[in-house]
Copies of this chain bind each other. A is one copy, B any other.
Amino acid sequence: MRSARWASTATPLRMNGGGSDDKPRVGFLGMGIMGVPMSINLVKAGFPVTVWNRTPDKCAPAVQAGATQAATASEVVKSCDITFAMLADPVAAEAVALGPDGVAEAMCAGKGYVDVSTIDPDSAAKIAAAIRNKGGAYLEAPVSGSKKPAEDGTLIFLCAGDEALYTQCREALEVMGKKHLFLGEVGAGAKMKLVVNMVMGSMQVAYSEGFALAAAAQLNLDDVMDVVNNGAIACPMFALKGQHMKAGNQQPAFPLKHAQKDMKLALLLADELGVALPTSAAANEQYKRAKGRGKGDEDFAAVHSNYD
């Protein structure tokens, strides 16, 4: 029963009507590549969903699926128990959370804010403080996975912050993803995300360099993919990106400029912590180079073009 479940949490959500019988009313801020399919998955699972986006047009697909559109982030928070946000970068995340008509303005005890954007630890701490000052609960929950897993509901959520809120939003997380971990204090989720994205970014460069060597050695790229996809390094990413690299078709599942931003943030975190990461730094320079050559808005697999 729902009441029992909520009762067991430290800061029970205020249920002021409007939600369906056993699901909290959820908000979703940010209707980009990720936000649209994630919010639609929530609608489909029966959650009452209210959405908002800075450019209102982008709400159309979610509204068509059954979501309600609000005029401001503040309004979303007012009418929902839990508000999710998937925003482009730390600047956008801070603006939406802390700015006028933003999240913090409408936050109060009994409400929760779950930021599923990838942001740096400092921004996360600032947002968490603002939410908590208003009595709200805060969970950072950056995701591992991009466009396709968002559509398929197979994301992984890296959660940290208020554990009660983590418990409360579990059902929603289960709809949007296949796995969720609670990692501890605010900041841990963002750090985990940076670690994983840094490894992923280096891997894409490693595969690009393999393709470049194979091409120069006049090996058949289909053979390369066949070997890679059947051996110890076979992984979903290589299966997908191998085709992208070969076809030169770089649909932005995860834009290169965001991949590079994550590598930069990971390296700066390593700098603070006194850890040298020479190979990741080398990979980061490849993304910087691709970005400088105008590939920032393409998929991060476009780093391959450096080697053409």
In angstroms, Cα B271 to Cα A124, docked, is: 23
Contacts of A217 in B (CB 8 A): 188, 191, 195, 269, 273
Residues 76-111 of chain A: 1 if any B CB is under 8 Å from the residue's CB, otherwise 0?
000000000000000000000000000000000000
A interface SS class: helix
With known contacts A216-B275, A281-B285, A282-B282, A232–B236 Cβ distance under 8 A: yes
Instruction: Name the segment of A26-34, A44-52, A133-141, A204-212 touching the other chain.
Output: A204-212
- A276–B264 CB distance below 8 A: no
Set B227, B240, B284: member contacting A144, Cβ < 8 A: B227
A289 interfacial by beta-carbon distance below 8 Å: yes
Instruction: Give, as a whole number of angstroms, the nearest-CB distance from A252 to chain B.
Output: 15
**This chain: how many copies in the complex?**
4
In angstroms, Cα B220 to Cα A220, docked, is 41
Interface residue range, chain A: 35 or more
Q: Provide a sorted-by-A list of 13 A–B residue pairs whose CB atoms are within 8 angstroms.
A: A144-B230, A145-B231, A178-B230, A198-B210, A202-B205, A209-B279, A216-B275, A217-B269, A232-B240, A274-B293, A275-B307, A277-B285, A279-B282
